[in-house]
Chain A
């Protein structure tokens, strides 16, 4: 069965950096686009970024452009999100998700808290 397991969340100070990872299993990872989606506490879903199956095509939400970098390692069945210059408003649960013009599988999420 498809499994997406995020890791790397935690508490970080404003201006700091964090790298999230997502381990995928149960499907041919290299065949699928992947996305990161976040949800601030008590708020709605916000799409953050996606990456094509080969990594050649990448898009970001305006709110994270220039600060976040998405990447993938198909040999390791892994997705990453490098987050720099973190702000309080980046505090959220970050979900790794399989993206096929719809999000058909979601991870359980990892909490990122940006606070001094």
Chain B
């Protein structure tokens, strides 16, 4: 049950686009289309932003999009806004029928 690998931090200026990667194995990210992404502001519970690799829950801005290639999933945020500054976590279903999270990425909006 090793954690998925995410960059510790990414940054971008308002209006720009950024991408956060999430690397796993064929037993989790690469084997299933059950990758999800969460946004967490300090002191708050996480919020679902993307599920099933590419789907957006109702109410989530279309500036957020997800994709996957092989064992790596990605979250892209376009038109970066100050309110997007937060921690982001990926998660995947695994071949052991468990769930695994990434270590988290801190997004800084410059």
User: Which residues of A are interface residues toward B (Cβ below 8 A)?
Assistant: 35, 37, 44-47, 50, 57, 59, 61-62, 95, 99, 101-104, 106-109
Contact = CB atoms under 8 A, between A and B. Distances in A.
A47 B45 contact: no
B45 A50 contact: no
Nearest to B100: A47
In which size bucket is the chain B interface? Answer: 20 to 34
A62 to B, nearest CB: 6
B97 interface: yes
Given A95-B45, A106-B47, 14 more contacts: A44-B101, A44-B103, A45-B40, A45-B91, A45-B104, A47-B91, A59-B98, A61-B1, A62-B1, A101-B51, A102-B34, A102-B52, A104-B48, A107-B45
Interface string B23-52: 000000000001010101000011110011
A103 B46 contact: yes
A75 B57 CA distance: 29
Given A47-B91, A104-B57, A61 B98 contact: yes
B86 interface: no
Contacts of A47: 91, 98-101
A46 B45 CA distance: 13
A59 B102 CA distance: 19
Contact of A101 (B1, B34, B46, B101): B34
Given A44-B3, A59-B97, A102 B103 contact: no
B36 A44 contact: no
A78 B46 CA distance: 21
B64 interface: no
B69 interface: no
A24 to B, nearest CB: 15
List of 9 A-B pairs having minimum Cβ-Cβ separation, nearest first: A102-B51, A102-B36, A44-B104, A106-B45, A47-B99, A45-B101, A101-B34, A44-B103, A59-B98
Given A44-B89, A61-B1, A101-B52, A109 B101 contact: no
Nearest to A98: B48
Contacts of A62: 1
